[in-house]
Amino acid sequence: MAVGTLARANIGWFERPDRMLAGVAAAMPWGATTSAALALAAERDPRRAAIVDDDGVVTYRELWRRSDGVAHALRALGAGPDVTVGVLCRNHRGFTDALVGASKTGSNLVLLNTGFAGPQLADVVGAEGISIVIHDDDFAEQAASCAAGTVTIDGSELAAMATSGERATPISHQGRVVILTSGTTGRPKGATRGMGAGAIEGVAGILARIPLRPRDVQVVAAPLFHAWGLSHLMLGFARCATSVVAPRFDAEATLTAVADHRARVLVVVPVMLRRLLGVEPRLLAAADTSALRVIAASGSALGGQLATDVADRFGPVLYNTYGSTEVAVASVAGPADLRRHPTTVGKPAPGATVAILDDAGEPVPAGSVGRIFVGNSARFEGYTGGGGKESRQGLLSSGDVGHIDAEGFLYVDGRDDDMIVSGGENLFPSEVEELLSHHPAISEAAVVGVADEEFGQVLAAFVVRRPGAALDAAGVKEYVRDRLARFKVPKRIEFVDELPRNATGKILKRELAGR
């Protein structure tokens, strides 16, 4: 299935025979690695822009040579098999220099969250056994908190390595790629993922549902250290695409990048879509997004109202992908799906199996809520600290609860640890959040369970008003009471200027629950 999908999308080597042979020859010494993916692209289309960032354009040939310099320098510092390199970089050429350079040494690679404070970074570096940390200059203070003996390389040093002109020889050892979980419920865990056949199946699952094309121009706004951003960087290599990136997300600047580069693809996490739609109306209307054919969103709940608003402004281009660091891509909802069923996360991706199971591990009837389990060959290999996700019938728990309707569309009703019991009633906060997102005076809202002496737990809603809107707690409660059962009305309403989020846009509900 994977090969057929790649062929139909012209992602593989289905070009002139001489290019195919040259590409194979360049990639083979590097095995099934990130390095091989870039080697293939550098051979197929060496002069094409690979990365466009604040410092200009880097071609595929230049990117390959830059990563050579980084690999040569890292080897001199001791990098190699059984050594772990951490990358703490925002979205710019340096991230890719470090990513591919470390891959060329055979080192294990851990992608570090750019939102880490010093103590959390030091904790993760110790837990993952990282001995070399490559970081942007503005993370120097955080990097200084790492244990004595940790080698740190700042942005200036990385740039010097990349432009040294040194060459790296192929190494047969394939290191692990470790992507950290979001850490919204505790210390981020390292999830190991391979680059072999399973990864190809995962790529094929995306390509079968999302119309990515060879030599696309794609604006990748999602963080590259996150699985979603990284996947699209690698998919960009596979199809010789141009990835336009920026170190920090800015809604107006992103719209400008889409317009100026005539981008066909925009890669985001859902909160970025909310920010894009919140741009000053005159600027939003004036932005030329006519070349845009794909907005690929993943990483957190999208919400039905946001899906509809995006389609109204940008047209039928939104693709909502559901999955996780552990289970990879589970399902994809396309524009037509989201018009008919705005809250769905789609149908299972090709190569993926999705089942809704009860607490005993048995399938539930269509439409009934249960725990979501996913199976595919692209799933993670386990946590670096040991253990993995719960497995039933060969499928892994996604950590969510949801249901599948009679047409086969999957819906996520919430995290399985978000459900609360209030006065004997089971409540999922996501249902109330979705309702509040439709209120004309509410920009966004988060609902959590908090302790209550009478009911055990009750719902608390944290609400961000739209600019200039007049709305009080009584109005919020009345809105919910008129549309849902009385026991689902939040007992506590708090208005906030913004919701706390991590670097990938997920709401930090632990912080809200602790207020």
User: Are residues 285 and 203 in contact, defined by beta-carbon separation less than 8 angstroms?
Assistant: no
Domain limit, last residue, from 390, 415, 440 = 415
CA 232 – CA 295 distance, rounded (Å): 12
Q: Tell me if 181 is assigned to some domain.
A: no
Which residues make Cβ contacts (< 8 Å) with residue 274, sequence separation at least 6? 306, 443, 444
- What pLDDT score does 113 carry? 92
Which residues make Cβ contacts (< 8 Å) with residue 151, sequence separation at least 6? 77, 78, 131, 132, 133
Q: Tell me if 41 is assigned to some domain.
A: no
Q: What is the CATH number of the domain that holds 161?
A: 3.40.50.980
More confident residue, 417 or 35: 35
Q: Which of 200-204, 326-330, 455-459 has the lowest mean pLDDT?
A: 200-204
Please check whether residues 356 and 409 belong to one and the same domain: yes
| Phi, then psi, of 77 in degrees rounded to 5 | -90, 0
- The model carries a pTM of 0.89
Q: Tell me if 44 is assigned to some domain.
A: no
| C-beta contacts of 40-49 below 8 A and 24+ residues apart | 40/13, 40/237, 40/238, 41/237, 41/238, 41/240, 43/19, 44/13, 44/15, 44/19, 44/240, 45/215, 45/240, 48/215, 48/240, 48/242, 49/242
pLDDT at 62 over 70: yes
What is the tens place of the pLDDT at every residue in 460-472?
Answer: 999 999 999 999 9
Please check whether residues 432 and 405 belong to one and the same domain: no
Percent of the chain at pLDDT above 90? 65
Q: Tell me if 187 is assigned to some domain.
A: no
Please check whether residues 320 and 458 belong to one and the same domain: no
- What pLDDT score does 199 carry? 53
Please check whether residues 458 and 407 belong to one and the same domain: no
Domain limit, last residue, from 360, 389, 415 = 415
Q: Tell me if 183 is assigned to some domain.
A: no
Most confident of 255-264, 378-387, 425-434: 255-264
What is the domain count for the chain? Answer: 3
Average pLDDT score over residue span 186-205: 62
Closest C-alpha among 442, 426, 437, 441 to residue 488? 426
More confident residue, 100 or 208: 100
More confident residue, 422 or 432: 432
Please check whether residues 347 and 395 belong to one and the same domain: yes
Q: Which amino acid is at 343?
A: T
Residue pointed to by tokens 């970081």: 135
Q: Tell me if 238 is assigned to some domain.
A: yes
Q: What is the CATH number of the domain that holds 294?
A: 3.40.50.12780
- What pLDDT score does 200 carry? 55
- What pLDDT score does 331 carry? 95
Query: Any idea what the Cα angle at residue 101 is, between residues 95 and 106, rounded to 5°?
Result: 130
Q: Tell me if 192 is assigned to some domain.
A: no
Determine the structural domain holding residue 374 and report its residue range.
197-415
pLDDT at 381 over 80: no
Please check whether residues 116 and 157 belong to one and the same domain: yes
CA 348 – CA 427 distance, rounded (Å): 26
Query: Band of the pLDDT at 2, cuts 50, 70, 90?
Result: very low
Residue 153 three-state SS: strand
pLDDT at 204 over 60: yes
Residue 13 Cα distances to 7, 52, 217, 374, 440, angstroms: 8, 24, 19, 30, 50
| Phi, then psi, of 413 in degrees rounded to 5 | -95, -10
Q: Containing H/E element for 73? A: helix 60-76
Q: Tell me if 180 is assigned to some domain.
A: no
Average pLDDT score over residue span 473-481: 96
- What pLDDT score does 280 carry? 94
pLDDT at 482 over 70: yes
Please check whether residues 430 and 368 belong to one and the same domain: no
Residue pointed to by tokens 């939104």: 318
pLDDT at 387 over 80: no
Please check whether residues 409 and 433 belong to one and the same domain: no
Q: What is the mean pLDDT of the chain?
A: 89
Domain limit, last residue, from 380, 400, 415 = 415
| Phi, then psi, of 445 in degrees rounded to 5 | -150, 150
Please check whether residues 285 and 428 belong to one and the same domain: no
Please check whether residues 303 and 449 belong to one and the same domain: no
Query: Any idea what the Cα angle at residue 164 is, between residues 158 and 168, rounded to 5°?
Result: 90
pLDDT at 148 over 70: yes
Average pLDDT score over residue span 353-357: 95
Q: What is the CATH number of the domain that holds 463?
A: 3.30.300.30
CA 42 – CA 33 distance, rounded (Å): 14
CA 16 – CA 14 distance, rounded (Å): 7
Please check whether residues 216 and 161 belong to one and the same domain: no
Please check whether residues 332 and 470 belong to one and the same domain: no
User: Are residues 311 and 339 in contact, defined by beta-carbon separation less than 8 angstroms?
Assistant: yes
